[in-house]
Structure 1
Amino acid sequence: MIELEQAIALVTGALSPQIDSELVPLAQASGRVTACALKAPLAVPNFVRSAMDGYAVYATDVVRASPEQPRRLTVLGTIYAGDHMSYTPRMGTAVRVMTGAAIPPGYDAVVKQELTDQGQAVVQIYQPIKAGKNLMPIGEDIISGQVVFEPYTYLNGDSVGILASLGYTTVPVLQRLRVGLIATGNELVIPGQPLAPNQIYNSTIYSLAAYIERTGGQVVLQTICQDNPAELMALLTQNKQKADLFITTGGISVGAKDFIPATLTANGGQPLFHFVNLRPGTPIFAANWQHKLILSLSGNPFAAMVNFHLFYWPLLVRFQRNEHFNLKKQTARLVAGKMPATSMRRFVRAKLTGTEVVIDKKGHYASVLHNMIDNNCLIEQIKGKSLQVGDQVTVYSWPD
């Protein structure tokens, strides 16, 4: 049995970072990771524009303007955002402009309309203004040629908006982590099929698939395998070219049907570890097989989810080269619920709100999954210590 940190180091070291990229449409780039530096092909804005509704003027024309002695300027016309209009600027004139409108060359300030009489043919200006005031210069937001996103940057909705402002239609991103999911057990049935006596519907890999897909991974295989070594090896062999990582559930403890460790070893697999000092999910197993990492989780639903959260996110960080995907670790105050002292390092399901965390009052059995509906994190419980209201505890939450 090894410690959790050592086990995580072993599996992350066994998974090579992604080097392959693909072009995706801009609308599909959110949640992906850039494959290279993305540069600005143009400045934003790429013309001088007005920061507000008002009048474009020469600042020197209104130096002595005041409410008592307003400066009168001839209005040449009006420009709205998106207009392409040509005016010949000259001293003693102004152009009415709306927010975002292009400023004709020569004018060097915009007087907001509240400081004028809002005249149409002639405007009265009631206050002086400094050159450059209320203008958005070329490149105020982004300079042409600058690196907007470094390689291996996580893109969110705001990132996509920035790329849209630069005219991007496609984005080079790292290819997704391809995961094969195999649930083992003679008792398992795919939802939708009739249950025979003493059988249950497979649930765990549906939860795993949902987490994988929503965070940029790709499930390339999702199936059930009977407690049959030959069937397992056939599934792995048939799908090894299309998966970067295989995750299995069940078949790893010490029972007669727990065949995965022995089967992989007998077929050329190199075990990385078997049994980790944590609860639930102690029997977790990992191996390299034909240059593929195989991570085998507990067959108990909640134990499998603990195994998944503690190991999958560091693997995704490694593969996608970005810390966005990692578990978020923080300290929180336990405000409700308790747990007795544990004989082994334990991870307890809980609900985190800000800096306060609550332990669910329901059962904390490894075989129970439905309690996770009201929980969004795991509390780390140190060996030999109980958890009591008021304790400062270490909490791990997963990416959104």
Structure 2
Amino acid sequence: MVTIQEALRIIQDQKISLKSELKPLEEALGFALETETIAPFDVPEFDNSAMDGYALCGLFQEYQLVGEVAAGDSKEIELKDGEAVRIFTGAKVPEKATAVMMQEKTSVKESTLYLDEMPRVGQNIRKKGGQLTEGQTVFEKGHLLNPPSLSLMGSLGLEALEVISKPKINIITTGNELVKPGQPKTVGQIYESNSFAISGALQQFGFQYHQKTQIKDDFDATKVGIKRALESCDVLIISGGISVGDYDFVKQSLEENGVNELFYKVFQKPGKPLYFGRKENQFVFALPGNPASSLTCFYVYVLPLLHRLSGYEKNGLTTYQFPIKHPFKNTFGRPSFLKAAVIDGNVEILDGQGSSMIRSMAKGNALAFVDDGETLNDGDMVRCKLIS
């Protein structure tokens, strides 16, 4: 058995190899860049108007209107002192323009423009290269592509990006008692739910599973199911069958399939019977079968490795500290990740901390870490991982 810190260190110390691929811009959200991006030209490429209004030559309060420039126009208008043109947002500003005055602060009579206030040099003009200059680094390697990133990449004319591939993930659930939702069940059976929690958590953080399989508590079936799953994945996540019961065959089946155990059992609650192993460049997590334990282990241990395999700079959920709203003592006998709710900057430990109780986790938004035997009073700071 290992401590929480030892388990996290073992996962973090794993040497990994990253893969890359070319992704269309519209499919690149949530991927990390494989290479540094360099600006191929200035952004903006030309001085342009930040407003619908009038481009002015010189600093006056009256101007003679001599034309119009719309966004996308390529024509050149040479202004003289005291002249102005109607201009629209994004349109190229004439070379000798001093400022742009927004239309709300103007009035026009015949061909004369009147300003409500004196303009300032450079007012409402987006200068050439004001955001990026040609040859400047736009994003470093490993930058996580969010919607603004995609917008900027699109403005550079890039239709596809070289990104770090995300790991291919397979899911196995085990248990004779499990029945797929929508199917009839008998007394003693329950509906399978952990695969929905795991696949939902994957989707929440921008991952997708490749294959999902349900296996009975049978050694041969478990061994064959694991063998097949390992043929098509980088990470295998197994739920159930990893404890020490007579029908728990996962650990032995992993050994038979050449998976090397890196740790088994963590001194924590929930999720003590957690397994982590490796076969060459493939990784295996065998999570406890109880729903809250399974999902807690995913957030704390699986997610950091998925982030690393995707080239992310950040690994796993960020830990924050919040004051607790009520006294609490950890009497569970182990360091504990507790279902909690952070509301208005304060954390509340929720009822229903049992490993099988998923409703309290669904109603909360955090995992609060409280050490074995730790006593907390009102206002004491608690370490929390926000899960939603």
Q: TM-score, normalised by structure 1?
A: 0.88
Give yes or no for contact 2:226–2:254 (8 Å, CA) kept in 1: no
Alpha-carbon deviation of 1:216? 2.3
Q: Quick one: distance in 2 between partners of 1:40 and 1:186?
A: 57
Q: Quick one: distance in 2 between partners of 1:172 and 1:392?
A: 43
Q: Quick one: distance in 2 between partners of 1:124 and 1:391?
A: 63
Verify: 1:13 aligned to 2:13, yes or no. Answer: yes
Query: Aligned ranges for residues 343-354 of structure 1 at < 5 Å?
Result: 343-354=333-344
**Residue in 2 aligned with 1:39?**
38
Q: Quick one: distance in 2 between partners of 1:185 and 1:126?
A: 77
Verify: 1:190 aligned to 2:189, yes or no. Answer: no
| 4+ residue segments displaced more than 6 Å | none
Q: Deviations over 1:175-234 (max 9, x none)?
A: 122111111111112222221331111111111011112322221121111122222222
Letter matched to residue 8 of structure 1: L
**Residue in 2 aligned with 1:168?**
158
- Give the match's secondary structure for 2:379: coil
**Residue in 2 aligned with 1:359?**
349
Cα 1:393–1:293 change in 2 (3 A) is same
Alpha-carbon deviation of 1:126? 7.2
Alpha-carbon deviation of 1:325? 5.1
Verify: 1:49 aligned to 2:48, yes or no. Answer: yes
Q: Quick one: distance in 1 between partners of 2:277 and 2:82?
A: 80
- Give the match's secondary structure for 1:238: helix
**Residue in 2 aligned with 1:118?**
108
Q: Quick one: distance in 2 between partners of 1:268 and 1:123?
A: 81
Q: Quick one: distance in 2 between partners of 1:385 and 1:46?
A: 60
**Residue in 2 aligned with 1:137?**
127
- Give the match's secondary structure for 2:300: helix
Cα 1:391–1:116 change in 2 (3 A) is closer
The percent identity for this pair of structures is 30
- Give the match's secondary structure for 2:133: coil
Q: Deviations over 1:307-349 (max 9, x none)?
A: 1111012112221222445212011111147455332111110
Cα 1:247–1:337 change in 2 (3 A) is farther
- Give the match's secondary structure for 2:154: helix
Q: Deviations over 1:146-167 (max 9, x none)?
A: 2222111111122222222222
Q: Quick one: distance in 1 between partners of 2:20 and 2:186?
A: 45
Q: Quick one: distance in 2 between partners of 1:258 and 1:126?
A: 81
Query: Aligned ranges for residues 213-292 of structure 1 at < 5 Å?
Result: 213-292=203-282
**Residue in 2 aligned with 1:377?**
366
Q: Deviations over 1:31-89 (max 9, x none)?
A: 22222222333322212112334432333xx4xx4xxxx5x543211223333434333
Cα 1:321–1:274 change in 2 (3 A) is same
- Give the match's secondary structure for 2:324: strand
Alpha-carbon deviation of 1:107? 2.5
Alpha-carbon deviation of 1:97? 2.0
**Root-mean-square deviation over aligned CA pairs:** 2.4
Structure 1 residue aligned with 2:294, among 278, 295, 304?
Answer: 304
Letter matched to residue 7 of structure 1: A
Cα 1:53–1:299 change in 2 (3 A) is closer
Verify: 1:211 aligned to 2:201, yes or no. Answer: yes
Cα 1:273–1:112 change in 2 (3 A) is closer
Cα 1:93–1:268 change in 2 (3 A) is closer
Give yes or no for contact 2:56–2:83 (8 Å, CA) kept in 1: yes
Give yes or no for contact 2:106–2:115 (8 Å, CA) kept in 1: yes
Cα 1:295–1:74 change in 2 (3 A) is same
Alpha-carbon deviation of 1:241? 3.5
**Residue in 2 aligned with 1:315?**
305
Q: Quick one: distance in 1 between partners of 2:336 and 2:121?
A: 65
Q: Which moved more, 1:103-112 or 1:200-209?
A: 103-112
- Give the match's secondary structure for 2:278: strand
Give yes or no for contact 1:337–1:359 (8 Å, CA) kept in 2: no
Give yes or no for contact 2:322–2:347 (8 Å, CA) kept in 1: yes
Q: TM-score, normalised by structure 2?
A: 0.91
Give yes or no for contact 1:186–1:227 (8 Å, CA) kept in 2: yes
Cα 1:193–1:297 change in 2 (3 A) is same
Give yes or no for contact 1:11–1:293 (8 Å, CA) kept in 2: no
Q: Which moved more, 1:369-378 or 1:288-297?
A: 288-297
Q: Quick one: distance in 2 between partners of 1:368 and 1:116?
A: 65
Q: Extract unaligned runs of 5+ from structure 1.
A: none
- Give the match's secondary structure for 2:32: coil
Give yes or no for contact 2:236–2:284 (8 Å, CA) kept in 1: yes
